[in-house]
Amino acid sequence: MTTSTFAPVKRDNLSRQIADQLRRAIVEGELRADDRLPTEDELALRFGVSRPTIREALKILAAQNLIRSKRGPTGGTFINCPSVKDLSESLTCATTLLVGMDAFNMDEVLQARELLESQCCRLAALNRTEEQLARMRQQLEIQRDSNLSAEDFCASDVALHRTLVDASGNRLLGFVMYSVIEALQPVTNMVAHRFRDRTHVSRQHQRLIDALESRDADAACAIVTEQLNDLRQHLGTDSMTPAGNSH
């Protein structure tokens, strides 16, 4: 790492600026996984700031799971490579929090889910495996248990739709979709408890599995749209997206 790697920083919000520059160096490949950062003293000298400011910048990066610390003779601060699973969970938590705080209205969430999940259906009709179909059938059997609680029914519903997303074979689409599906879980629990006809939902899931098994993408998309329109009706949101009619 050369002294020209980093730009001078302004005098306000120094720790955030330093964290942003270090993050940019990671994103652009100047700093790679397992690279060792200079010491706090060295970074303070390079940025022209105090050690406490550097320490605050590193805390920001640590909170984002971008760096890790190791003690001992071979210790120091190293660039971390967060896993897809960790980042997906962070995105899911952030999306759930924003939905809970009404940053997005429920119609926007349903609309996004319909558009994205319809694409998952089209890919899954091409790429699904027998093992993925078996996992979906397993969740369907769970949902047919009349003694299942509303929360467990919802969890099984989420698991089935996550398997549908996995079956698309597109990991980036899956990364985004997990947060959209699971951000709906609290409100879906409420709907499942108060309104949803489980037999009707199970039949929809059976038709969805059958459509994927026969590689009928149009039928699979139509069932996803039907399910989300049912949720719209129960939640009192009325707008329809073109997802079910766009092909």
Residue ranges and CATH numbers for the domains of the chain are: 3-79 (1.10.10.10), 84-245 (1.20.120.530)
List alpha helices for 4-49, DSSP H.
14-27, 40-47
Q: Is 79 helix (H, G, I), strand (E, B) or coil?
A: strand
pTM metric for this prediction: 0.69
pLDDT digits (tens, 9 = 90+) for 157-175: 989 999 999 999 999 999 9
What does the pLDDT read at residue 244? 43
Give the model's confidence band at 245: pLDDT under 50 very low, under 70 low, under 90 confident, else very high. very low
* Residue 246 CB neighbour total at 10 angstroms: 9
Render pLDDT for 35-68 as a digit per residue (tens, 0 to 9): 999 999 999 999 999 999 999 999 999 988 889 9
Which whole-number Å values give the CA distances from 15 to 66, 80, 221, 231, in the listed order?
15, 19, 47, 45
